[in-house]
Structure 1
Amino acid sequence: MRKKKMNKCPVCGGQLMFEECCQYSLVHFITAHGKMSKKAKRRDYGGIEGSFIYCSNEKCDFVTDTDYKSEKHPDIQIFEDEQGFWVERRE
């Protein structure tokens, strides 16, 4: 099978989600009364080099690891290039 644009779940046709794991912290000030301020600044430390794809359909079990491989669906291969994500199903 030739690869095709991945714009829906290759298992059930549901909407796909791309989750990029990032690392940030919330920085609070200590007030004059010795308490933590309610306002906080978000300090972003950038990505932690991890992302995965999963189906938004709760009944579907499609999910990838950070290498875009699916343990439950090893016949599905996912590729990424500058044009987006592509999927190919091995037979």
Structure 2
Amino acid sequence: MIISNKAVQRIAQIYQEQKQISRARQKTADVSFSDEVELSAEGKEMQVMLQKLKDAPAIRPQAEEIKKALKSDTYEISTRQIARGILKSFDRG
């Protein structure tokens, strides 16, 4: 069997390439990654608003009572309150 110089050189070249690939993989394995999120000013403001909504007193029980009263036709409308609301809207506008 004859081993040519070209074959030996090719084997040496492949060996070097494998070494370089191995080193590159080792370098990337040593790097640690971390995720970061930075909120914009608008995002931070929205987060504050959402927290205020969560902390606000619950209106849902009152709304549920009104819904039940409307369905059962027992909801009484105060004409005075309606008139006051209309007048207030004119004062604001």
Same fold judged by TM-score > 0.5? no
**Which one has a bigger Cα radius of gyration?**
2
Q: TM-score, normalised by structure 2?
A: 0.20
Question: 1 or 2, which has the higher helix percentage?
Answer: 2
Higher relative contact order (Cα pairs below 8 Å, separated by 6+ residues): 1
